[in-house]
Amino acid sequence: PPMKMLKPLAAALAVCAAVAVQARPLEDIQKSGTIILASEGPYAPFNFFKGKQLTGYEIEVGEAVAKKIGLKFEWKTVGFDALLTGLAQDRWDLVIASHAITEERAKAVTFTAPHYCSGGQIVSMTPAIAKAADLAGKTVAVQTGTTYLDAVKKVPGVKEVKNFPTDDAARNALGSKRVDAWVTDRFVAKEMISKLPKAGFKIGDMLFIEQVASAVTKGNQGLADAWNKALKELIADGTIGKISQKYFQEDVTCK
Ligand code: ARG
């Protein structure tokens, strides 16, 4: 009978609702004293390991903001794909891993103010592949789940888009000429060229621009507000600019 069926359904819905509101509000994080931050790890110079030490622009920005709010921090690192889903499961309070603000992602998470402005850039091994139109008939490597994947899919005539679990793996595919081009962040490309000047990588055009921000659980506005206020102050007093100079020799914050 339908009434009997409704009970388990109601129970299941209640569990879903409970899971959805589990995110720790700012007050709870403050009570515990420690914010749980999550990032990826193989995405230099934004988030990467120097030996066992997690570091990079976003790691230092995240730590500076946490301190400014008056919190200690603890890092978790997981694959790029698992970062936003882990937020929804309340496995960490905030993700800072170069996620651009997109409409699609904003359906699932709440974005903070951006900590850098950048864009997707074409990288190849030949000056003949530099513009979007040059990608026609070509194989292009991108990291799974990124805005680069979405952008390359929209370029007319691309022969194949190859997905890789990390951006590093996508770059290696280009380096070993298994693909014709790689689309990545412009600052990742810049850093790579300066680290490996003889590897033969050629920087092409930017395909699009984007604003990159942290993400908190959908609707965790109190945490987002505190983060935004602290970030704004750290941009104004030059702290973020200094971190940016250290990793990029330029200011990557949004103008
Ligand atoms: N900015 C791009 C995006 O929003 C790429 C992010 C890649 N992040 C990373 N940690 N590998 O999708």
**What pLDDT does residue 141 have?**
98
pLDDT string in tens for the chain (255-residue length)? 555 666 666 666 555 554 444 689 999 999 999 999 999 999 999 999 999 999 999 999 999 999 999 999 999 999 999 999 999 999 999 999 999 999 999 999 999 999 999 999 999 999 999 999 999 999 999 999 999 999 999 999 999 999 999 999 999 999 999 999 999 999 999 999 999 999 999 999 999 999 999 999 999 999 999 999 999 999 999 999 999 999 999 999 999
Q: How far is the CA of 1 from the centre of ligand 1 (A)?
A: 49
**What pLDDT does residue 9 have?**
61
Q: How far is the CA of 133 from the centre of ligand 1 (A)?
A: 23
- Checking phi first, is residue 137 left (phi over 0); if not, alpha (psi -120 to 50) or beta? left
Q: How far is the CA of 146 from the centre of ligand 1 (A)?
A: 5
* pTM beyond 0.85: yes
Q: How far is the CA of 223 from the centre of ligand 1 (A)?
A: 22
**What pLDDT does residue 12 have?**
60
**What pLDDT does residue 116 have?**
98
**What pLDDT does residue 166 have?**
98
| Torsion angles phi and psi, residue 164, rounded to 5 | -130, 150
Both structure tokens of 85: 């889903």
What is the longest distance spanned by two Cα atoms in the chain?
Answer: 73
**Which of 70, 67, 109 lies closest to 216, judged by CA?**
109
Beta carbon of 146 within 6 Å of any ligand 1 atom: yes
Question: Residue 79 corresponds to which amino acid?
Answer: G
Beta carbon of 185 within 6 Å of any ligand 1 atom: yes
Secondary structure element (H or E) that encloses residue 213, with its range? strand 202-217
Please say whether the beta carbons of 147 and 168 come within 8 A: no
Pick from 75, 111, 143 the residue to mutate for probing ligand 1's pocket: most ligand atoms within 8 Å of its CB.
Answer: 143
**What pLDDT does residue 39 have?**
98
Residue 46 CA, closest ligand 1 atom number: 10
